[in-house]
Chains A and B, each alone.
Chain A
Amino acid sequence: MENTTSRLAVAQRLGAILSCLGFVVAGLSLFFAPARAYPSYLIGFLFWMGLTLGCFPILMIYYLVGGIWGIPVRRFLEAGIGTLPLMGGLLIPLLFGFGYLYKWAQPKVLRADILLQHKQLYLNLPALIIRMIVFFCIWGALGFLLLRWSRREMTTTEPKPLIVLRMISAPGLVLFALVTSFATIDWVMALEPDWYSSIFPLIILMGQILSALALSIILSTKLVFDPQEPTPDQLNQLGDLLLAFLMLWAYMSISQIIIIYAGNLPHEIVWYLHRMRGGWLLVSWLLAIFAFTVPFVLLLFRQLKRAPAWACAMAGGLLIMQPVCIFWYVAPSFRSSPSLDWIDPFTFFGIGGAWVVIFIRRLRHNGRFVGPAQLA
């Protein structure tokens, strides 16, 4: 316990330093080199926002289906939800840079593109700002309700809070999936405004769930708040869940390729063409191997899932691949070959540092409500 507390303090200090350094550099570059800095900022924002958003569905699924797997990760998921206000604040700089990111926000491109003019009814700045406010209000309300009733559930033995949590989670999951889909359309799919794929928002959502689940598995084996560590059975179930979401992610990704490949329509294939040119094809194959094949094969083995060190390593590998994935979704729309801008690490770790600081704050705050938080 004491060891955990001191490690958290170190991580928090490190996060604070990183975020200060990152934000100074990111702020300056957003101001002086916006065309280069905004894509970097978007990549960083999307990864950490995904980590926050990924916590919602896992927690709601846990309340709905129960099981022993939720106990070791629950507190981390709740702390992740607690970072939502921070991410809402970090969205604001993006709103000023839409002209650098999205073609629909560039008047010159817009005048020449009839298709885009027709899409203006949806893709315009006032509508987008209203959408963002609505989305964050819905996420915020959902998060507030989940955290509030969870706290009550931990301090009482009455069944009522659990029933309420279930009543929130069932419609909450549906609402969350819809809102997150629309947000993803605005943030990622609109980067190539001619292109659309109805399964793409769900692919992004699966990535978010994967990163949140992977992070909470790692933390559950490293930071022990409860007297006991996660049991092999709990780790096994968490590993199974990770495998399930990984397969769902791959299934959707490959469905999208098959449908677009079979259809062979110019406005659809452009997205893949941008991700095959230059060295991007190599990155695509690296993702296929290291973001799916290797973890998939490893996660099949029961003994590996049950061993804390292996569970942690497999979750860590998946977590590391997620920023690469997001990089692959976003960057090819701006860069013709896969290269890291020197601004990229600053925005990524700047946002990440702030995320870690708030996350640990929430974790310590919620840590006081340790109780027999078990679901039957």
Chain B
Amino acid sequence: MTSTTAPLYGLTARFDSEEKLVEAARVIFAEGYRRIDALSPYPIEGLAEIIGQRRSAAPLIMLIGGIIGAVTGYGMELYAMGYFYPLNIGGRPLNSWPLFIPITFELAVLFSALAGMVALLVLNRLPCLYHPLFSVPDFQRASTDQFFLCVEAVDPAFKRDHVRELFERLNATAITEVRTG
């Protein structure tokens, strides 16, 4: 499954407790590594901040989607009712804004939600049918009772032996070199 000639993806360590993982993440980050990923069976409060999680672009994308939706909704109604097929309904002005609000609001929500879904997939690089980490022994236990920390080889500061040494010092249960492909 894993060929030893394929380029290195990174180094993972398996830990048997939440505390060890958090401590390891803190040390590895302090040593200057930035391309880190932590995997745990349940969300651990504060862990994302420890490994330097950046703010997500999703809210901005959703806001832009919402604004496009609102403009589309209002524009569509104004174009249809005001210019393309003007209708006099009970003497109301052609731009009857109070009655245009529901559709404007609905389309804002719809576009925003769609933009959010697309952003979710794109920013998380999904769908992803295979990931190098899948070849780590016992990796499925990341969803039951084990905690993993991975330092990726693309990190400019990455030095394999130094990371291995750190992992050993941090009481990792198992250390694996992960190769791409």
Contact = CB atoms under 8 A, between A and B. Distances in A.
Interface of A: 254, 257-258, 261-262, 264
B101 interface: yes
Contacts of B99: 258, 261-262
A257 B92 CA distance: 14
B98 interface: yes
B90 A264 contact: yes
15 contacts: A254-B98, A254-B101, A257-B98, A258-B98, A258-B99, A258-B101, A258-B102, A261-B92, A261-B96, A261-B98, A261-B99, A262-B98, A262-B99, A264-B90, A264-B92
A23 to B, nearest CB: 42
A264 B96 CA distance: 12
Contacts of B92: 261, 264
A183 B96 CA distance: 34
B8 to A, nearest CB: 38
A261 B92 CA distance: 9
Contacts of A257: 98
Interface string B120-141: 0000000000000000000000
B101 to A, nearest CB: 6
Contacts of A254: 98, 101
Interface string B31-56: 00000000000000000000000000
A254 B90 CA distance: 20
Contacts of B90: 264
Interface string B78-99: 0000000000001010001011
Contacts, number: 15
Interface residues of B, number: 7
Q: Which 8 A-B pairs have the closest CB atoms?
A: A261-B98, A257-B98, A258-B98, A264-B90, A254-B101, A262-B99, A258-B99, A261-B99
Contacts of A261: 92, 96, 98-99
Interface of A is mostly: helix
A258 B98 CA distance: 5
A338 B81 CA distance: 34
Nearest to B63: A300
A262 B92 CA distance: 9
Contacts of A264: 90, 92
Nearest to B90: A264
A11 to B, nearest CB: 39
B33 to A, nearest CB: 27
The residue among B96, B98, B102 with the most chain A CB atoms within 10 A of its own CB is B98
Interface in B94-111: 96, 98-99, 101-102
B90 to A, nearest CB: 6
A261 B102 CA distance: 13
Given A254-B101, A261-B92, 13 more contacts: A254-B98, A257-B98, A258-B98, A258-B99, A258-B101, A258-B102, A261-B96, A261-B98, A261-B99, A262-B98, A262-B99, A264-B90, A264-B92
A363 to B, nearest CB: 34
A261 to B, nearest CB: 4
A257 B101 CA distance: 11
A254 B98 CA distance: 8
A202 B13 CA distance: 57
Nearest to B102: A258
A261 B96 CA distance: 9
B147 to A, nearest CB: 25
A13 to B, nearest CB: 46
A262 B102 CA distance: 12
Contacts of B101: 254, 258
A371 B8 CA distance: 57
Contacts of B98: 254, 257-258, 261-262
A298 to B, nearest CB: 14
B43 to A, nearest CB: 15
Contacts of B96: 261
A194 to B, nearest CB: 20
Contacts of A258: 98-99, 101-102
A258 B90 CA distance: 15
A262 B90 CA distance: 9
A262 B98 CA distance: 9
A258 B106 CA distance: 15
A254 B101 CA distance: 9
A71 B96 CA distance: 46
Nearest to A263: B90
Nearest to A303: B55
A104 B98 CA distance: 31
Nearest to A262: B99
A258 B101 CA distance: 8
B154 to A, nearest CB: 30
Nearest to B97: A261
A149 to B, nearest CB: 33
